[in-house]
Structure 1
Amino acid sequence: MIDPEIAAAVDLSRPPLTAAGIPARRAAGRVVTDAELTRGGTVTFTEEDADGVPVLVLRPAGSSGPPVLHVHGGGMVAGTRRSDLHVLAEWVSEAGVTLVSPEYRLAPEHPHPAPVQDCYRTLEWVHRAFGSPVVAGTSAGGGLAAAVTLMARDRGGPSVRGQLLMCPMLDDRCETPSSHQFLSGTTWVRSSNLTGWTALLGESRGGPDVSPYAAPARATHLSGLPPTYVDVGSVDVFRDEAVEYASRIWRAGGDAELHVWPGGCHGFDQLVPDAALSRRARSARIEWLRRLLH
């Protein structure tokens, strides 16, 4: 059951995402204003070019901090470099980080590997410009963040200080119990998930030859990864794949912190940022960033 405070504030009647509905979903995306980015003057931002990828760079006013590369969500088919930052700008003001958000190419017009290539190019740029970053992401961006971290490990760099995966979209096979459990009545349902994965992968979705750089749950081993933070709501289609990803990192001898937020639907902290559950989730992430970076 969705947390009552969150359920009262979100529209649970929103129709599932379909291929035909992708343009409308993009058009309906939340517009994050300049005022939300600057958080009362505590944050400054610039639009920059990361080797051909447009990025938004947020810095603490009057200073700079350790870098975080954050990849926005949107089911692989929607979103911009401003997406999610109405909440995540607080990482800059409260944890003192420099946050870089890329505008990666979207499926289905740009299927795999275009999105992850853009994110990896941004990682290389961030590493040159600011040093070794934390790689973070929300939903589809969480999956891309995990994929970029795997690519960096497998290619021998750039170095990554940590990965922060929020309700990550990791597994195109959609076979976990939670991927079958939520068919309606929540913010991201099974049919929407299938639409997103199919847009990214086409007919290969769920087949034997999908790359772990498209679906990180496909990785054969998760050793050698940096410290990892994974969180997800209990009422989320991605719940079980997120828990399994953290568990596999532990089994490989790695460092992972896992939070399953009771009553949290997909994207609850973005949709209702002032809810008590959302504040707890956001506070836990900021505390992890502070421990890791400072």
Structure 2
Amino acid sequence: MMDPDLLLDSSLREALRTVPPQECWNPGPMRASGAALLDAAPADHSGVDLAVHHINDDAGLEVRVLTPAASPRPHALILSVHGGGLVAGRARYDDAWNAEISRRTGAIVISPEYRLAPEYPYPAALDDCLEAWTWALHEFNPSMSLIYGDSAGGNLAAGLALRLRDQGAIGAVDALFLIEPVLDDRLDTPSMRAGINTPVWDLPNARASWAAYLGPGQADRYAAPARATELSGLPEVFLLVNQCDPLRDEGIRFAQNLTDSNVPTELAMLAKSCHGVLGMAGVGIADRAREMVLGKLRESLDTIRRRKGGIVD
């Protein structure tokens, strides 16, 4: 059985002391503790222009648009969906990371401020992501586009890709990046059953998160992408899991199902890492993880560019 006390990288232990407790059964204080830590953190926007657009006044949908200053009309678009257990998190908390993605890839990065559960259960968040995606395609008309999501954002990214596929609109998506994604409401994998008290994310939080997100409804393949029985037609996928993460096995199973559906898929597992590792500051293993993801994003866009005959920025 997975034992984080034996597996977890020692350099992560000190960083974990600064992580606010995740309490998805009590989202108000969870949001407040996150805000106390992250609202005061300066975000490095150097080399990137940041704009905020309100694209649906009725739903209050806001999107943050980060554009590389050196290339004001780039041909690549990345929709970046934030995490937070579907009950917390803000798009602006990812500004520094999204700015880094924009700088390093030369892409426009769009981050939607989707509605949170339990006030807005499924499908509100997914509807917001679809609206942000549709708006971004119309606004920027990119030659290449990619959907990226971390944790709960990975759930929404995968659900959005499935929804676009079923609507006949998946052709606009060139690649899908799922970082430590939340995929399965059944919570019955070995790693999830063992995750009683794992760092950052655990079984009690997963139960509370799914209960808040689904509300009185039932999970379908868009709410819980692991329930999709047929994944063919999705674009190429990069999927990252952590060795000491209760979400590990559902990510691995999803990669297997993608392969069985003949979807080009790359699966990576970070050794000795836990959930949320990309957000850990000043930790060697986190620095390496971020560099790997940035490298894969650049590699994916380069591959798409070559496949499309070379796009000149």
Q: TM-score, normalised by structure 1?
A: 0.91
Contact preservation (8 Å) 1:12, 1:185: no
Contact preservation (8 Å) 1:51, 1:122: no
CA deviation digits over 1:82-141, x for unaligned, max 9?
123333321111111111100001000000111101101111111112225211111101
Residue 187 of structure 2 is matched in structure 1 by 174
3-state SS of 2:93 partner? coil
3-state SS of 1:36 partner? coil
Taking the aligned partners of 2:250 and 2:39, their CA distance within structure 1 comes to 29
3-state SS of 2:273 partner? strand
Which among 8, 14, 29 is matched to residue 14 of structure 2? 8
Taking the aligned partners of 1:61 and 1:291, their CA distance within structure 2 comes to 21
Contact preservation (8 Å) 2:81, 2:154: yes
Residue 94 of structure 1 is matched in structure 2 by 104
Taking the aligned partners of 1:11 and 1:34, their CA distance within structure 2 comes to 17
* Alpha carbons of structure 1 residues 110 and 91: separation in structure 2 relative to 1, 3 Å: same
The code of the aligned residue for 1:175 comes to D
CA deviation digits over 1:166-199, x for unaligned, max 9?
1100101100011111111411110011110000
Taking the aligned partners of 2:198 and 2:235, their CA distance within structure 1 comes to 36
3-state SS of 2:164 partner? helix
Q: How far did residue 264 of structure 1 move?
A: 0.9
* Alpha carbons of structure 1 residues 10 and 168: separation in structure 2 relative to 1, 3 Å: same
* Consecutive unaligned residues in structure 1, runs of 5 or more: none
Correspondence 1:287 to 2:295: yes
* Alpha carbons of structure 1 residues 177 and 118: separation in structure 2 relative to 1, 3 Å: same
Q: How far did residue 77 of structure 1 move?
A: 0.2
Contact preservation (8 Å) 1:73, 1:137: yes
Taking the aligned partners of 1:34 and 1:276, their CA distance within structure 2 comes to 20
Taking the aligned partners of 1:274 and 1:88, their CA distance within structure 2 comes to 18
The code of the aligned residue for 1:108 comes to P
Correspondence 1:54 to 2:66: no
3-state SS of 2:38 partner? coil
3-state SS of 1:169 partner? coil
Contact preservation (8 Å) 2:24, 2:85: no
Correspondence 1:189 to 2:202: yes
* Alpha carbons of structure 1 residues 102 and 33: separation in structure 2 relative to 1, 3 Å: farther
CA deviation digits over 1:144-166, x for unaligned, max 9?
00000111111011511111111
* Alpha carbons of structure 1 residues 2 and 74: separation in structure 2 relative to 1, 3 Å: same
3-state SS of 1:194 partner? helix
Which among 130, 137, 150 is matched to residue 127 of structure 1? 137
* Alpha carbons of structure 1 residues 15 and 289: separation in structure 2 relative to 1, 3 Å: closer
Count of residue pairs the alignment pairs up: 286
Taking the aligned partners of 2:240 and 2:94, their CA distance within structure 1 comes to 16
Taking the aligned partners of 1:194 and 1:63, their CA distance within structure 2 comes to 44
Taking the aligned partners of 1:13 and 1:151, their CA distance within structure 2 comes to 33
Correspondence 1:161 to 2:170: no
Contact preservation (8 Å) 2:84, 2:152: yes
Q: TM-score, normalised by structure 2?
A: 0.86
* Alpha carbons of structure 1 residues 78 and 4: separation in structure 2 relative to 1, 3 Å: same
The code of the aligned residue for 2:82 comes to H
Residue 281 of structure 2 is matched in structure 1 by 273
User: CA RMSD, aligned part only?
Assistant: 1.9
Taking the aligned partners of 2:234 and 2:240, their CA distance within structure 1 comes to 17
Residue 222 of structure 2 is matched in structure 1 by 213
3-state SS of 2:298 partner? helix
Q: How far did residue 35 of structure 1 move?
A: 4.8
Give the alignment of 1:21-40 within 5 angstroms.
21-29=26-34, 30-31=37-38, 35-38=42-45
Taking the aligned partners of 2:102 and 2:33, their CA distance within structure 1 comes to 27
Contact preservation (8 Å) 1:235, 1:265: yes
Taking the aligned partners of 1:13 and 1:246, their CA distance within structure 2 comes to 29
